[in-house]
Every structure is written in C-alpha cells, then in structure tokens.
Amino acid sequence: MELAAAPLFASSASVFKITDIGLPKSNIKGELGRLNFSCFPNLQHLDLGSNNLSGSIPSQIGSLSNLTYIYLYETNLTGTIPKEIGSLRNLEVLDLGSNNLNGTIPLEIGSVRNLEALSLDGNKLSGTIPIEIGSLRNLQWLDLSSNKLSGTIPKEIGSLRNLKELDLSSNKLGGVLPQEIGNLKSLTALSMDANNIGGPIPSTLFRLTNIEYLSLGFNGFNGSIPREIGNLKNLTSLSLGGNKLTGHIPSTLGRLTSLQILDLSSNQLHSSIPLVIGNFSALSYLDLSDNRICGIIPDELTKLSHLKYLNLSSNLLSGQIPFAIGKLFNLASLDLSKNKLSGSIPTEIGNCSELRNLTLNHNSLNGTIPLEMGKILWLQNLDLSHNNLSGTIPKTLPPMYLDMSFNNLEGEIPTYLQGHPPKSFVGNKGLCGHVKGFPSCSQSQKHPPSIILFVKIFLPLSLILPFIILGFILLLKRQNKTPKLNSRAAKNGDVGSIPTGIDNCSKLKNLTLNQNSLDGTIPLEMGKILFLEKFDLSHNNLSGTIPKTLRPMYLDLSFNNLEGEIPTYLRDNPPKSFVGNKGLCGQVEGFPSCSQCQKLTLSIILSVKIFLPLTLVLAFTIFGFILLLKSKSENPKLVSRAAKNGDVFSVWNYDGKILYEDLINATEDFHIGYCIGTGGYGSVYKAELPDGKVVALKKLHHSETEDSAFVKSFQNEARVLSTVRHRNIVKLYGFCLHKRCMFLIYEYMERGSLFCVLRNDDEAIELNWTKRLNIVKSVAHALSYLHHDCTPSIVHRDISSNNILLDSNLEAFVADFGTARLLHVDSSNRTLRAGTYGYIAPELAYTMVVTEKCDVYGFGVVALEILMGTHPGELLSSLSSSSGPKIMLIDILDQRLLPPMN
C-alpha cells in the first residue's frame, strides 16, 4: 500500500470521524509527510510500526490533539523529532524506536505530562538528556538506549516515582550515577551498561527493593561491591561486568536466592569464591572471569543444578577440578582456562552430557584425557592445550573442533581427527599419524627382535635389580618395627577379590564394582547369573583371562590387568570396554590379533631362557659387592638412622616424639589432599601425628642435598633459627634434609593466613578493631625481637599478610622468618633479593641492600592492609606524594566494620 492513498482517507475522515489507524507490519511504503494530518482531528491511535516508510516526522503531527498512542517504531524515519510533539497533551505512549532519527531530544517533551511510555531507542540521537524529562510524573517506561547521548544523567530523573523500567544503555553518558536514583521505588528493571559512568555504586541504589533486573556492566564504576546489595532480594539478573570494581565478593550476595544470571566478569575482584554461592539454586548463568579470584573451586558451586553457563577463566584459581562437577547435568558451556588448576580431569565430567563448549587450556592439569568424555555427544569445542596431560587421545571422543597442543600426549592421532590443522596437536612429541608435520605410526607398530627385547627389557632390569632387592630387605625390617601400618590397610577393605558365592544372586541385573582395588580373577561362576544386563569391573587390579562363561551383555572391563583373547560373543561391545588391559587381544578395534601376540610371546620366552639366568647371576654379584662395601665403610648406627629417618632428620622444640615415618604417613607422602597452601618457597601440608597433635610441614621447592657443603650450612642455619623464642613467632620444631624431599616442621595455625581471613567477609567481620590492633602490636613485637634481641640480628625479608598466621583465638604469629636464608645459605643479609610484590621497600629496587628497614616498610603496608581490609595499592604512592589529595582516615577504613568509636 502506498501513502499516496491519503486523499481517499481525507475524504472519508470527516464522514466517519476516524479515531484509530492501525496498520502495523502492512508493507506500507512512502513518506509519512504525504499524510494530511489536518484531516484526522479525532485521531486517537496511530500505529504504522514495522513498515517501509521514509522521510521525517512532519510538524503537523502536533495538530492531532486527541492522540493518545503513537507507534512509529521500525519505519526508517529520518530527521529530527519535531518540537510540536509537546502539544500532544493527551499522549500516553510515544514509540519512535529503531529508526534513523538524529538531533536532540526536544525540551518540549516535558510538556506531555500524561506520558506513560517513552521509547526513543535505536536511533542516532545526540546531546544530553533534558532535565525537563523529570516533569513526566506518570512515566512508567523510559527507553533511550542505543543512541549517542552524552553528558550526565540528570538528577531530575529521580522525580519519576512511577517509573518501572529505565534503559539508558549503549550511549556515551558519563559522570556518576545520581543519588536520586534511589527515589525510583517502583523500578523493576534498570539498565545502564555500555556507557562511561564512573565512581562508586551509590548506596541509595540498594533502596530499590522491587528491582528484578540490574545491569551496570561495561562502565567505569570503581570501589567495592557494597554489602547492601543483599537488600535487593527480588533480583533475578545482576550484571556488573566490565568495570573497575575491587575488593571481595560480599557474602551478603548469598541473600539473592532468586538470581538466575550473575555477571561479575572483567573487574579487579580478589579473594576466593564465597561459599554462599551455593544459595543460588535458580542460577543458570555465572561469569566471574578475568578477575584476581584465588583459592579453590568450592564444592558449593556444584550444587547449582540449573547452571548452563559457567566461566571462571583468567583468574588465580588453584587446586583440582571438583569431582562433583559431574552433577551439573544442564551445563552447556564450561570455561576454566588460564588459571593454576592442577590434578587430573575428573572422569565425572562425562556426566555433563549437554556440554557444547569445554575450555580447560593454560592450566597445570595432568593425567590422561578421560574416556568418559566420549559420552558428551553434543560437544562442539574442546580446548585442553597448554597443560601437562599424558597418555593417548581417546578414540571415543566425538568429532568436533579441538586443541590439544602443548601437552605430553603420545600414540596415534585417531583417524577421524586427522582433518584438524596440525596446530591442534603441536607440542606433543609422542604423537604420530597422517597429519602434516607428524611421523607415521607404522614403524612403531613393528615387533622388535629378541635381541632388542633383551636390551630394552632385561638390561635395565639387571641394573636396578640389586636396588630392588635391597629395598625389599629394608622394607621387611621396617614392617617388623611398624606392623600397624599393614593392619590398617586391611581394615579399610582396600583390597580383595570378587567372592565366588556372588553367583547365588541369580536375579541380579546390575553389578557395578568399578574404581576399587579388587584383585584376583573374574570368577567362572559369574556365567550363572542369567539375568545380568550390566557388569562394570573397570578401574581395578583384576588379572587373568575373561571367562568364556559370561553371557552377552553390556560390560566394562577397562583399566585392569586382564590378558588373553577377548571372547568372540563379546566383540560387539565398544573398544572402550576393554582399553587399559595391555595383555588382551582379539578382533576388536585397537587391539592386536592373538596370533601376533603369540609370536611376540615366543620371542620373549626365548629371551627369558637365554638372558634371565645371566641377569640373575650379574645381579647377585653386584648386590654382594655393594653389601661388602657398605659393611666396611659405614657405621651400622648411621645406616639404621638413614633407613629410618632419611638422610638428615632432626627435631628439637617438640614435647613429644616425632618420627620421619609418622610425618610421611600423616600426609600420605605429601598427597595434594593435605596441602593447605603454596608460596614462593614451598607448599605447606597439614599433618596429624599419632598422638593427635597437628603440625605444619613446609616442603621446600629447592633441594641441593647432593652438595655436602650445602647440607652442613643448611643444618647450621636451621639450628640458629630453632633458637628463636617469642610468643608471636611460629615455632620451628625441626627439619628434614632428604635426597627425595626437604621440609621444615612448624607449629600449626588453625585460622590460616591474615591475607585469607581479610578476604573472607565473614572472617573479616569477626576480626574486629580490637583484634586488628592486637595483630599490629604482635607483629611489631615479633619484628623488634628479631631485629634487636637476636644475635646476630635476623631480617625477615618477606613481611606480608601471607606470612602473618592466626591461631584459633585470632592471635597473630609471624611465619617464614629466615626461609630465604635457608635456601641461599651462601648469601649475606645485604645482597639477598627477597620479598612479595606490593610489600617490598622501593629503595630495594636500586640499592639491592636488605636491612631491617625493609621489614619495617613491609610492616607498614601490612598495618594499612589491616585497617583497610585489602592491600592499600595505589594509596601508597598517594601518601608519599606531597601534591596528592588529603585523605581522611575514616575514608580508608574497612567498610565491613563500623568505624571505631574509641
């Protein structure tokens, strides 16, 4: 329809008194100005939205004094908004969105007092928001988004008490958010994202208790997230990403139990992920990426069963990926890249069957790629690059875009993945296959002749066999002295075989015994269970052959020590059901035929018959020679001590008895599960001794124990440090200097470091002003003792909140004194570089002289950190500058506590 038909409208308008023109989405073309508005004096509703109009809005529209609704959205209109629009005193709705209008918003808009909805979004309007807009007291919806508006948000906007939705996003607005925004008590949606608004988030904003949608992202907001945010209990969507927010994620956020979307990405937030995150039972979108968040991924995060998008990338997270991640069945995107995560990829991730995107690159993950990832059928993007993964690429992975570069993978690149670019696999020296730049796998599949087998298998065996025998002898002696260790393993039921009587459960349909430590063979009687449909024995230590009595069913025998032929009737099971059993053969993809295995076995038997006797003779000869040498050169008492306690093991300041074995057993040989912290010099482990007392073991990164001069210097230095006695210095009980590890034994502090306590809202509030003052005093007394009461004086070198530990009563103790000296015993106090970034005295950068003054500077930074609740950062340079602004103490105090009254 063309607007040229306007004369026809005109002739009939006076006859029929037209009040409503409603032709949206009618493919109307032409200029709006061709419509003779004077012919429609009774017009109340004008709706020409979503048509192909052109030209500008004619000024004659101001003559339609009865108009209440104007819908001209998506009509390609150009030009400016005529000021005559202010004459439409009965107008309630004005929608000019998604056009090409330019110019400014006319001041006369403030005269349309009955206006309830104003939408000018998606145009090219410039200039400022007129203060006259504050006169529209009936306004409920205001949308000025996606324009080129500049200037500040007028405080008059706070007069719009009936406003329900306000959208000013995607403009060039600056300044700060006016305090008057808190007057909009009816507001349910506020969007200010993608502007240049700065300053702190005003506290008045948190009076808007009816608000459900709040988006302030991609601005310049600074300061911390106010604790008052917990007042907005109706919030379902909160977006504060892309700002300059600092400090902690407040624990009060846990009150927002209706949240579905939470975006705090691209800020400067630190501390750990608060445990209250588990309160967001309805959350489907969580983005905390690109911050400075540290600590581990809490298990509470895995309780968010509705979560579909999770992004924690580009932070400082450490520890392992929680096994419970497999509970997030609805997860479609998971990004944990660019952190410090370690450990293996949990097999439970295969339960996240809805995953489309999995990004774990740039971490320190190790272990193999789980076969269970083959269950994620919808996976489209997989990035495991820049880790320490080993093993082969599973053949169960679905075809997708992937990046496995820069790991330690080996074996053949699966055929269906060989279409990927070579860069997806580079940095894995052990990979082969038909991919450009990688060797063919054909040579590695040839069986070596018997002489090569001897060189590869028996020659190394002949070299290490004497040491294996010696180890068995020492182990037997140790077991005779400590029988409790063996009995404890038996009590836990960690080992055992499958009982033969299990066939009496004749109606059994599902039998799952995976991921235990079962050994022995698979009982033949299993074939009697006629109704068995699922049988899972994976990840055990079972040996022998697969019984031919088993019925056809779904089974998983992977990752055992099974051998022999895979029965013919079981060959329909997928190859992953048998992987991880090096001795299996048969006509199953990825397994050798049994005829080849027999040839190889004959070759090995031939080698055994010829070379094994020779190897044993050689081994016993070497073993006898070693014993002869040892009996002549070593004092029996010293040999016993070395076997029992390591090379050098000494404990002085402990009221009980500590054995080397007790410490190793208490931490299960320094298992990561006992690790409670990692620093520049080593990792700290919690060890509970047999008498129930707890100590902290600091396993040092660096070891030069082969150097006898280093051993002697280390012992002397450690003994000097052991003489330190002060009530506010952590006790050093002793040390161990072993060829395998080197560690210090310290008094255990229950509450951890001051750094972590200050970054946890609940613990920081518990640390009131009195306790904080006592911490400052305690640290000052400890440093005074080290500097003035020790001979020679001891310079700590690394005073920081990480090295101030708190006991159960929140009393402070200085830790890690002298660790740098222990590791660099040939360095003097005056030349040793040490310290933590942010606590190092500026003059150290150019003088390189470490003195007591360096400790005093670090103490000052820690004192400010205790007052502020966070590291002072740029405040340090402001305080040292004479031209800087005056700063009141009350302005920098930790806002989580009420100001001190005394």
C-beta of residue 73 within 8 angstroms of C-beta of residue 96: yes
Give whichever of 20-24, 144-148, 814-818 has the largest mean pLDDT. 144-148
Amino acid 165: pLDDT = 96
pLDDT of 94-131, one tens digit each? 999 999 999 999 999 999 999 999 999 999 999 999 99
Tell me the C-alpha distance between 206 and 211, whole Å: 9
Amino acid 417: pLDDT = 83
| Residue 832 reports pLDDT greater than 50 | no
- pLDDT mean over 760-778: 91
Answer yes or no: 798 catalytic.
Answer: yes
* C-alpha radius of gyration, the chain, whole number: 37
Q: Greater confidence, 874 or 22?
A: 22
Q: pLDDT band for position 885 (50/70/90)?
A: low
Q: Greater confidence, 492 or 160?
A: 160
Nearest in space to 425 (alpha carbons), one of 367, 397, 436 = 436
Report the side by side order of strands in the sheet with 220-224. Answer: 198-200, 220-224, 244-247, 268-269
Q: How far is CA 535 from CA 552, 554, 577, 865, in A?
A: 10, 6, 11, 59
Q: Could you tell me which CATH number the domain at 751-902 has?
A: 1.10.510.10
DSSP β-ladder status, 694-700 and 742-747: antiparallel
Q: What is the DSSP letter of 452?
A: H
Amino acid 357: pLDDT = 93
Burial of 502 by CB count in 10 Å (0-12 exposed, 13-18 middle, 19+ buried)?
A: middle
What residue ranges of the chain are covered by domains with CATH 3.30.200.20?
Answer: 644-748
pLDDT of 692-708, one tens digit each? 888 888 887 654 445 56
823: three-class secondary structure by DSSP: helix
551: three-class secondary structure by DSSP: coil
| 229: Cα within 13 Å, side-chain hemisphere | 26
Beta-carbon contacts of 689 under 8 Å, excluding residues fewer than 6 positions away, are 656, 658, 662, 663, 666, 695
CATH 3.80.10.10 fits 495-592, yes or no: yes
Q: Greater confidence, 148 or 552?
A: 148
Amino acid 302: pLDDT = 92
C-beta of residue 458 within 8 angstroms of C-beta of residue 607: yes
Amino acid 449: pLDDT = 41
Pick the CATH number of 270-283+290-446 from 3.80.10.10, 3.30.1370.60, 3.40.50.700, 3.10.20.740: 3.80.10.10
Q: How far is CA 497 from CA 522, 532, 544, 559, in A?
A: 9, 20, 12, 16
Amino acid 588: pLDDT = 80
806: three-class secondary structure by DSSP: strand
- pLDDT mean over 22-31: 88
Amino acid 831: pLDDT = 42
What residue ranges of the chain are covered by domains with CATH 3.80.10.10?
Answer: 270-283+290-446, 495-592
Nearest in space to 238 (alpha carbons), one of 268, 270, 205 = 205
Q: How far is CA 552 from CA 498, 510, 555, 570, 845, in A?
A: 20, 14, 9, 6, 73
pLDDT of 239-293, one tens digit each? 999 999 999 999 899 999 999 999 999 999 988 899 899 999 999 999 999 999 9
Q: How many residues does the chain have?
A: 902
What residue ranges of the chain are covered by domains with CATH 1.10.510.10?
Answer: 751-902
Burial of 758 by CB count in 10 Å (0-12 exposed, 13-18 middle, 19+ buried)?
A: buried
Q: pLDDT band for position 632 (50/70/90)?
A: very low
Tell me the C-alpha distance between 753 and 860, whole Å: 17
Average pLDDT of the chain to the nearest whole number: 81
Place of tokens 């050689």: 618
C-beta of residue 737 within 8 angstroms of C-beta of residue 705: yes
pLDDT of 326-380, one tens digit each? 999 999 999 999 999 999 999 999 999 999 999 999 999 999 999 999 889 888 8
698 annotated ligand-binding residue? yes
Amino acid 8: pLDDT = 40
Percent of the chain whose predicted confidence (pLDDT) is above 70: 77
- pLDDT mean over 539-562: 84
pLDDT of 163-203, one tens digit each? 999 999 999 999 999 999 999 999 999 999 999 999 999 99
Pick the CATH number of 644-748 from 3.40.50.300, 3.40.920.10, 3.40.1360.10, 3.30.200.20: 3.30.200.20
C-beta of residue 58 within 8 angstroms of C-beta of residue 38: no
Tell me the C-alpha distance between 667 and 482, whole Å: 17
Amino acid 830: pLDDT = 41
Q: Greater confidence, 154 or 515?
A: 154
Other beta carbons less than 10 A from residue 343's beta carbon:
18
Tell me the C-alpha distance between 4 and 156, whole Å: 44
Q: 523 preceded by cis ω (within 30°)?
A: no
Q: DSSP secondary structure string, 665-691?
A: HHTTTT-GGGEEEE-SSEEEEEEE-TT
Tell me the C-alpha distance between 377 and 354, whole Å: 8
Nearest in space to 116 (alpha carbons), one of 147, 133, 93 = 93
Amino acid 2: pLDDT = 62
pLDDT of 76-95, one tens digit each? 999 999 999 999 999 999 99
C-beta of residue 395 within 8 angstroms of C-beta of residue 369: no
Catalytic residue among 798, 816, 855, 894: 798
